[in-house]
Structure 1
């Protein structure tokens, strides 16, 4: 049996277990096979010996089946957060079920090749445990921040990480902050830390009632009526900016100003960090204040504000940018996503 990809999965090849002898091919090869079969009265094929290829490039790539943004529930929070190895991962396998997981599959194996979130999640979970062992005083939010702000989005050649589904460069709605980098995450320089109170404030910004908060957190908490809660000020390592758009043909352009505040915690040596901004669009002007942060001690905290001045764009338009704090040794990078609705 030959399984050929459609344009949805492009050249993605996933090593699924089958009950029948099977071969999986990408869309281009599949199209060529179909053309050959249709043009030859006696099509033939040869099965050659299996080989192992090393140094396959480009690598890594965003899997075709990987979940994508934007966040449909809370647009002000960028999703996904990060990507990690999750395609064709060889790992131990229970003998309770066959490699396909089907009731009819009576085979028993000690190892299997699986793809999906069930494989990338263990990688990230293991890295979180590694960071916790190296920095036992770090909170879960600090660990998450370290993994996100040190992730990479380009290959050593400088080319952007590829989306295998399209063959084009991927973007934050595909990979979030990027592909995890374990070594860099051990020494991120700065982290975006969050406490339980920050998450309670996040629920308040979503207009949760005391009963809804209790059902979620198992604690009694009432949002303060005198306090202004905003999703944009949730101390997340990434930025997502939902924007308004002009309504109807000939509608006047809508300009608006949005401010997000973030707090950084120094987890390295005393240093001075300067900010850099990179953007794909001229429709959004960005200003960071202050543009320099000086930390004199470990675990010192400093806050900054990003002001986004935007122009209206057609509904459905998306664009991306990123913000980076650097002391010359560390690069603390945050993706920024703009969505006009």
Structure 2
């Protein structure tokens, strides 16, 4: 029978413990649960004397013993806190802390995951417990507590505190902070969204322009009140939307429904930096990408008078939710990115457009876009990411995780022609987005920068005496941007400037709207100008502006800056996945750079930008259109629909070229250039659930802890219990294999889902495979009798029992029916892409420092 105690007869430890916590809080405390667990005690409850707590049940003698144990728990914890506090003199750095899954008693004691994370941090850091309980999210050392994207939190810690934390049973891994970087009027028509005529409706008509779809954009700020974000005529966001817009009511509307800034991590890394509070765009990037994805119709848009037309995003009927995670001069902090994705998922976005990345991001367990992207696809949220701008070097591609769509950049068929006509009659092709009507095209003296590098980066050379009234030849490079050079030349009285692109850019020209008349030319064309100038005592030239020209048949061309594969993290998966318009894209900006006097009001609101950052939101908007037309499709199905229906030939019906004039390979193009019309009705898709990536991750060599960190908040799993799935056998829309061992043959497994007609017959075609390879498909014919029916097949790829002489060989597998061609690229390598590439990568290679 339980013994009823009176307060004055309690041992001092019990009295002090209850005095500190109270009876009920004592029973709800972590120490109580832990002590109970270790003592294996059973309990019975009787009324507690009214002198102690009239409304609480009494403590039996076992609980009294527990109170003594808890006293020592409390004493040791308080002592540890004091010790930590007195030794908290080290340098604080930001870390992402990965923790084990909470035990049942953790869930019982703490009301939410943030409270639990705060208590874990408090156990090693100098923080007041009352402050944590009042508002865990605002604890000085706790930056973010993540609910969805990763099982852990970000915090500011000293080296000593990190060492103490590493000894805790809940600690798994600490990853130091890392900073990431940010990577139109014509493209809707070019891509077939509008349809060629009223009788051939485009994708917009078939998808209602993405109405009701919410696109979440992570970037560097947005411009409220811009006409591209006008909500006139837009319906309210769907009821599932739970987010908020921090701008005032005149800026927030049915188009721009969400706008928030995530700066908690950045502000610690950039001491003295002001918290932006509102996600205002201080550059052009965030406004540009957002309007490309889902901008409203804006008639009369132009870039300094060129490219005149009606601007619109790819999904003009969709809603925009903006999340600022990047800041001018500071970059984009990993922990802020994770927090933004965490909130975006709960806000109710349907897609994420992320033009951020790092080609050295490391393994998926430490990459915020890979981590957040996996959690997003678990909820059916499609994620489009930029491939990076480190081309044309190989193995530079960013955002490599197979659950992300990785987008490379290519040109459009629009050119703003500005040719250079030399005094000897030779005419050289160029481009310019500033072609003032007041410019008089006449021969003028042609001079060059007399400095050693010819880049016009020395102000002392660019004097009025040297350049006034003349046309100046300048090479790209030096310690100034081309826009800065143009501004200096304008102030010095130069009549015009000829900008020479860098050698590696090849045939692709990315001009800007300069402060004075300009023409930008290819690097190889400059040699002709130099020869002429060397042969003439008084060289002259004139610029010939020909306006905006559409329909360039040698397009698209792979952009030279677009990052290339193979992937470092998963070389068995072809990356990038796909290519979209990313060169000379006209879209919304806060105000254009480098302009003297824009020719019209809307020229102040639009500008030209190039990059995979511009390509990714194109694909995001198109994905929104597909999702609207097919709301039940998974992110993998949408990805497959786009990848298997791409164009691999240009408008001449010739293979797409790279900027160097050679055929672009698959490490530049991925599956090819986006074709939205065909993607709306692909016939077959290669589908994948979030769970399907788990055995693939295990086979890559990730430990159970790392794999479970990636797949969080899915229940923890063990790799030993998973089937073996090689990279080549992940049910991906592309095929990549290595033939480096006898008998130089490999089998690849795939499954396709019928999303076309209920009954259909598809026949395998490998007619685009080179003669050095043998590709056999079993079975060679697939018969479908119903929608959503799944059929499997095996592809056997061999090199006829000999080692391939060519390092990389490419081909195509096509499934052909009466209505569809479902095409998968095949990449075959004669040896492993990287020296340390293994079928199973060691765990050590996947541990972030």
Q: Please report the TM-score for the alignment, with normalisation by the length of structure 1.
A: 0.89
Q: Provide the residue aligned with 1:177 in structure 2.
A: 671
The answer as to whether partners of 2:511 and 2:584 remain within 8 angstroms in 1 is yes
Q: Indicate which of 308, 313, 317 corresponds to 2:804.
A: 313
Shift of 1:322: 0.5
Matches within 5 A, 1:231-246: 231-244=727-740
Residue 21 of structure 1: CA displacement? 5.5
Q: Which residue of 2 aligns with 1:265?
A: 753
Partner residue of 1:118 out of 589, 609, 613: 613
Distance 1:49 1:8, change over 3 A: closer
Shift of 1:221: 2.0
Q: Which moved more, 1:75-84 or 1:27-36?
A: 27-36
Change (3 A) 1:283 1:56: closer
Q: For residue 249 of structure 1, what is the aligned residue in structure 2? A: none
The structural deviation recorded for 1:285 is 1.6
Between stretches 145-154 and 42-51, larger displacement belongs to: 42-51
- In 2, the alpha carbon distance for the partners of 1:293 and 1:280 equals 20
Contact 2:566 2:575 in 1 (8 A): yes
State how far apart, in whole Å, the 1-side matches of 2:672 and 2:516 are. 37
More helix by share: 2
Alignment of 1:284-299 (within 5 A): 284-299=773-788
Given that 1:93 and 1:111 are in contact with CA atoms closer than 8 Å, whether structure 2 keeps it comes out as yes
Higher relative contact order (CA 8 A, sep 6+): 1
Tell me which structure has the larger Cα radius of gyration.
2
Partners in 2 of 1:89 and 1:153 — Cα distance? 21
> Is the CA contact (8 Å cut-off) linking 1:283 and 1:312 kept in structure 2?
no
Displacement of 1:204 in angstroms is: 1.4
- Cα shift readout 1:131-150 (whole Å, capped 9, x = no counterpart): 00000000000000000000
Q: SS of 2:638's equivalent?
A: helix
Secondary structure (helix, strand or coil) at the match of 1:204 reads: helix
The alpha-carbon distance between structure 1 residues 117 and 259, as it changes in their structure 2 partners (threshold 3 A), is same
Aligned to 2:814, the other structure's residue is in SS state strand
Instruction: Report the secondary structure of 2:542's partner residue.
Output: coil
Query: Structure 2: which 5+ runs fail to align?
Result: 1-496, 595-602, 832-849
In 2: Cα distance, 1:213 partner to 1:21 partner: 56
Does the residue aligned with 1:8 lie in a helix, a strand or coil? helix
Contact 1:99 1:109 in 2 (8 A): no
User: RMSD over aligned Cα, in angstroms?
Assistant: 2.1
Structure 2 counterpart of 1:150 = 645
Judged with a 3 Å threshold, the aligned counterparts in structure 2 of structure 1 residues 213 and 56 are, in CA distance, closer, same or farther, namely same
Q: 5+ residue gaps in structure 1?
A: 101-107, 246-253
CA change 1:201–1:99 in 2 (3 A) is: farther
The answer for the alignment partner of 2:303 in structure 1 is none
Of 130, 133, 140 in structure 1, the residue corresponding to residue 635 of structure 2 is 140
In 1, the alpha carbon distance for the partners of 2:548 and 2:692 equals: 49
Q: How does 1:173-212 map to 2 (within 5 A)?
A: 173-212=667-706
TM-superposed CA distance for 1:5, in Å, is: 2.8
| Aligned partners of 1:60 and 1:161 also within 8 Å | yes
Indicate which of 828, 833, 839 corresponds to 1:338.
828
Correspondence 1:63 to 2:559: yes
What's the secondary structure of 2:607's corresponding residue? strand
Query: How many pairs are equivalent?
Result: 323
Residues 769, 812 of structure 2: 8 Å contact kept: no
- Asked whether the 8 Å contact 1:190–1:266 carries over to 2, the reply is yes
Match of 2:114 in 1: none
Q: Out of 205-214 and 224-233, give the one that drifted further.
A: 224-233
TM-score normalised by structure 2 residue count: 0.37
